[in-house]
Chains A and B, each alone.
Chain A
């Protein structure tokens, strides 16, 4: 649970402690990723790119960051 210093989220299948109050956009940038090149799924719902800055990451959120890779 949160101790005020950090919150726990499930990020790409792994538990991760992040600072509270981050927007999804800030989380993505903190991972050195370009928000224009990825798609965010938050708790199994796709988060439109235009909403990344307004939505805050909350304790227990399940976040998936996906992109395109080589495939046939």
Chain B
């Protein structure tokens, strides 16, 4: 039983699945597979992303991620990372599904090598095709309301706006747009990319979104296992903080103790 499932929050529902955690983690950039698995467990995550690549035939032993992560134990979410066209993303998606354990997909079509910002037009185009082929598409996108609405219209099961560029660790640069996307879309909103530290994850969740997806913030920490646990707590705290409804912010001080009853 997950100790962080509590009476104040229900599970996250995406399409026909329920998830006990609102934290989604990637598996890239780990130097050590044992540390990766330990960090994933420490995160309490419900969904783990993986990438599709050529087998490296120069290696004597297969180093595929399925040697370390059993799809029966973890909900593995293949991505189309590294794809720059709708056509490529569709090709990678079909290869991922042919592995035979999931029709879920993290769709990602990159538009620029420097910022890794998404090509939103190609993302929508790929989403339409993949949804028609029966994929459950979770679409990585910009923090742009119109694109988010188009992706929802295309039939994506979740829309995943970035906090800031992939791997940047800058946190949520535009909380207003994240909130507006959450207000206007009916599908779950997962903030994907840009989180650098636990406070960022908390801030993202405090915007009211349904979850956060991250990779580098955990993998590139000095101690990924401890950071994974910090992220678990931060996502949980941010979620409850949002549900609790924060106090009104004021730009003056307001005493917490009574002003009456002071001595002469």
Query: What residues make up the interface of A, taking CB atoms closer than 8 Å to B?
Result: 11-14, 31-34, 37-39, 41, 44, 46, 48-49, 64-72
Contacts and interface: CB of A to CB of B under 8 A. Distances in A.
A9 to B, nearest CB: 12
B12 interface: no
Contact of B65 (A39, A44, A64, A70): A70
Contact of A68 (B60, B76, B167): B76
Contacts of B36: 70
Q: Considering residues A38, A46, A68, which has the most beta carbons from chain B within 10 angstroms of its beta carbon?
A: A68
Given A11-B57, A65-B54, A72 B62 contact: no
Nearest to B64: A67
A64 B99 CA distance: 14
A70 B27 contact: yes
A71 B26 CA distance: 6
Interface residues of B, number: 40
Contacts of B54: 12-13, 64-66
Interface of B: 26-30, 36, 49-55, 57, 60-67, 76, 78-79, 81, 91, 94-96, 98-100, 166-167, 193, 213-216
B216 to A, nearest CB: 7
B59 to A, nearest CB: 10
Contact of B28 (A31, A33, A72): A72
Contacts of A68: 50-53, 64-66, 76, 78, 96, 99
A32 B53 CA distance: 17
Contacts of B76: 68
B50 A66 contact: no
Given A48-B98, A68-B50, A32 B26 contact: no
Q: Considering residues B51, B76, B78, which has the most beta carbons from chain A within 10 angstroms of its beta carbon?
A: B51
9 contacts: A41-B95, A49-B100, A66-B55, A69-B50, A69-B51, A69-B65, A70-B50, A71-B53, A72-B216
Given A12-B54, A31-B57, A49-B100, A69 B62 contact: no
